[in-house]
């Protein structure tokens, strides 16, 4: 057998050491744009993300609701493949056809109805709605109610969203604008306008509802128009039914595929990559691998990006069950070296995705510093309103469900079988809970804030800067203790926080 001289290391064993921070290197100067498909030196990648976040190819994590929410923030979801081809394609189509926004629905309400009617409707449907009156006061004539299309979004967080935008009673101050909803949304997000776009039930914008105190007539939103875009979305495939699944996903508008397997260093992956690359014009990643050989094998078979990580996932028991895997940091460091060498030799840059094992936000920054172009996370996203699973109360705490793709519950045997005819007889994943954490956007903003702040400590304005210039040190077991709060008596309130 071959013995590695270094032990397999995890993110917890490393820390970043600050570099000089120049005055013009503040968090707002940091750009997290990152490639997700291979490109030639000096050229731009065909596909990139505005933030280096992707959500895992898992039933309990990535459906169309998650995909829309994450794409809106600049990341990407890979819709899970452990479902029928038709169902997966329908989810992809839903993301591509989605037009964000709030819908004005007059439902059965007429201008004669009162505020009480609106509140009754809220109670009855459980949906978060806001009443729109013609003069912005409860006494005005009821124009309609605004409700979210994202019914899965919890009432609490939707209420909060609405109150951030407008008072419960807002006046319609901007009439028909003649632009599409998607255009309006782009404008609203980009210019941080204080308003809600209202559609007529289809896709055409009818009104923008502004806060009462907002001077809506300042500027003309339609004059600010950039392109009519749809959200980016990925999808997981397997090495068995790809001849049927890939065309269906492409038809549905998928932007990028990934072959989803716990061990990607296989001839099945190579065959799948070659087939997809020679028959379709679509970007496709492959994995997972944890070493140089696996990386080169998949790249030479045509992979547009490579996913790194075996056995580090929060719900994964592969290492316990089968004794294979590698500490995520060691895997990433070796694959990054192989990628850099490949780039020097060929001039082709292959993006790397670090998949699994991210527990703290700083692990994301470490992964980027160690060469990842983006990370994939399951547990992180499973905690949010937008994940597909149930929110439950256990004791005094809210939790959400998460289960591994190798668990009996997911029964995604393709990901875990070794190609033979017989199905697997043991599980490689668990069925579990994660603490509920609220809305994706709020949590993502916090994580991004931390990443950008750490990057400025490292003197890096971009992920590329960080990869080139980060200085990373191993930590000893005793310095880990020094890193947390120590030698003080913690107050209850501090213990409950993250
Ligand atoms: P984490 O972000 O929850 O730590 O890890 C998510 C990753 O775990 C997924 O992207 C996938 O690579 C891996 N995964 C998913 N299901 C299993 C399993 O059942 C698993 N063993 O290891």
The structural domains of the chain, with segments of one domain joined by +, span 11-98+231-492, 102-224
Other C-beta atoms closer than 10 Å to the C-beta of 364 total 25
Q: Is 25 annotated as a binding residue?
A: no
Q: Given the CA of residue 311, which atom of ligand 1 is nearest to it?
A: 22
Q: Is 459 annotated as a binding residue?
A: no
Q: Which residue has the higher pLDDT, 392 or 222?
A: 392
How far from 289 is each of 52, 247, 315, CA to CA, in Å?
A: 19, 26, 18
Interval between CA 379 and ligand 1 midpoint (Å): 8
Q: What is the mean pLDDT of residues 385-409?
A: 93
Is 62 near ligand 1, meaning CB less than 6 Å away? no
Name the residue of 62, 404, 428, 435 whose CB sits within 8 Å of the most ligand 1 atoms, as the mutation to test its pocket: 404
DSSP 312-381: -STTB-HHHHH-----HHHHHHHHHHHHHHHHHHHSEE--EEEES---SHHHHHHHHHTT-SEEEESHHH
Cβ–Cβ under 8 Å, residues 303 and 349:
no
CA–CA dist 364, 358 (Å, integer):
7
Q: Which fold has domain 11-98+231-492?
A: TIM Barrel (3.20.20)
Q: Which residue has the higher pLDDT, 46 or 101?
A: 46
Interval between CA 103 and ligand 1 midpoint (Å): 36
424: pLDDT strictly greater than 90: no
Point out the residues that are catalytic: 316, 415
- Give 89-107 pLDDT, tens digit per residue: 999 998 987 754 434 443 4
454: pLDDT strictly greater than 90: yes
Q: Is 262 annotated as a binding residue?
A: yes
- Give 213-257 pLDDT, tens digit per residue: 333 333 333 332 273 467 899 999 999 999 999 999 999 999 999
Q: Is 325 annotated as a binding residue?
A: no
CA–CA dist 366, 383 (Å, integer):
22
**What does the DSSP 8-state code read for residue 132?**
E
Cβ–Cβ under 8 Å, residues 56 and 381:
yes
Stretch among 47-56, 132-141, 384-393, 411-420 having the lowest mean pLDDT: 132-141
In this prediction the pTM is 0.79
Interval between CA 101 and ligand 1 midpoint (Å): 32
Is 61 near ligand 1, meaning CB less than 6 Å away? no
Is 351 near ligand 1, meaning CB less than 6 Å away? no
Q: What is the residue with the minimal CA distance to atom 8 of ligand 1?
A: 313
Is 429 near ligand 1, meaning CB less than 6 Å away? yes
Is 356 near ligand 1, meaning CB less than 6 Å away? yes
Is 379 near ligand 1, meaning CB less than 6 Å away? yes
Q: How confident is the model at residue 154 (pLDDT cuts 50, 70, 90)?
A: very low
Is 261 near ligand 1, meaning CB less than 6 Å away? no
Interval between CA 312 and ligand 1 midpoint (Å): 7
Q: Is 309 annotated as a binding residue?
A: yes
Radius of gyration over alpha carbons of the chain, in Å?
Answer: 24
Query: Is the reported ipTM for this assembly greater than 0.95?
Result: yes
Cβ–Cβ under 8 Å, residues 292 and 340:
no
Q: Given the CA of residue 407, which atom of ligand 1 is nearest to it?
A: 19
Interval between CA 55 and ligand 1 midpoint (Å): 10
Proportion of the chain above pLDDT 90, given as a percent: 60
Gap between the terminal Cα atoms of the chain: 43
CA–CA dist 390, 410 (Å, integer):
15
pLDDT of residue 116: 59
Backbone angles phi, psi at 311, to 5 degrees: 90, 0
């Amino acid at each position: 057998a071959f013995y590695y001289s270094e032990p397999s290391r995890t993110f917890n064993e490393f820390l970043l050491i600050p570099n000089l921070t120049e005055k013009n290197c503040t968090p707002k100067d940091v750009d997290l744009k990152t490639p997700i498909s291979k490109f030639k030196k000096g050229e731009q990648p065909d596909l990139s993300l505005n933030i280096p976040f992707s959500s895992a190819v898992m039933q309990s994590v990535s459906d169309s609701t998650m995909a829309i929410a994450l794409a809106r923030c600049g990341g990407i979801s890979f819709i899970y493949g452990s479902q029928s081809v038709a169902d997966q394609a329908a989810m992809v189509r839903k993301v591509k056809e989605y037009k964000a926004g709030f819908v004005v629905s007059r439902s059965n309400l007429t201008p004669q109805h009162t505020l009480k009617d609106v509140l009754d409707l809220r109670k009855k449907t459980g949906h978060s709605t806001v009443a729109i009156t013609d003069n912005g006061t409860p006494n005005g004539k009821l124009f309609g109610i605004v409700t979210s299309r994202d019914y899965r979004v919890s009432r609490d967080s939707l209420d909060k969203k609405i109150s951030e935008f407008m008072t419960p009673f807002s006046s319609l101050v901007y009439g028909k604008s003649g632009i599409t909803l998607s255009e309006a949304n782009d404008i609203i997000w980009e210019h941080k306008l204080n308003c809600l776009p209202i559609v007529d039930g289809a896709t055409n914008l009818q009104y923008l509802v502004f806060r009462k105190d907002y001077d809506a007539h300042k500027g003309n939103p339609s004059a600010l128009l950039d392109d009519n875009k749809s959200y980016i979305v990925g999808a997981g495939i397997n090495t068995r039914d790809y001849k049927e699944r890939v065309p269906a996903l492409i038809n549905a508008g998928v932007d990028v595929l990934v072959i989803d397997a716990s061990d990607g260093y296989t001839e099945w992956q190579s065959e799948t990559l070659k087939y997809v690359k020679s028959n379709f014009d679509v970007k496709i990643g492959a994995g997972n691998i944890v070493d140089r050989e696996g990386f080169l094998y998949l790249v030479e078979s045509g992979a547009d990006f490579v996913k790194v990580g075996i056995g580090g996932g929060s719900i994964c028991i592969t290492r316990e069950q089968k004794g294979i895997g590698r500490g995520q940091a060691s895997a990433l460091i070796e694959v990054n070296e192989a990628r850099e060498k490949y780039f020097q030799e060929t001039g082709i840059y292959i993006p790397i995705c670090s998949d699994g094992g991210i527990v703290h936000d700083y692990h994301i920054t470490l992964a980027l510093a160690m060469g990842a172009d983006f990370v994939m996370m399951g547990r992180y996203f499973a905690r949010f309103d937008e994940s597909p699973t149930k929110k439950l109360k256990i004791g005094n705490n809210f939790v959400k469900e998460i289960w591994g793709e190798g668990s009996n519950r997911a029964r995604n045997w393709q990901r875990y079988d070794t190609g033979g005819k017989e199905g697997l007889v043991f599980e490689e994943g668990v069925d579990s809970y994660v603490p509920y954490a609220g809305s994706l956007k709020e949590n993502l903003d916090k994580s991004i804030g931390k990443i950008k702040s750490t990057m400025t400590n490292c003197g890096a304005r971009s992920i590329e800067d960080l990869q080139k210039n980060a200085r990373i040190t191993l930590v000893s077991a005793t310095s880990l203790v020094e890193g947390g709060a120590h030698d003080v008596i913690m107050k209850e309130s501090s213990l409950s926080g993250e």
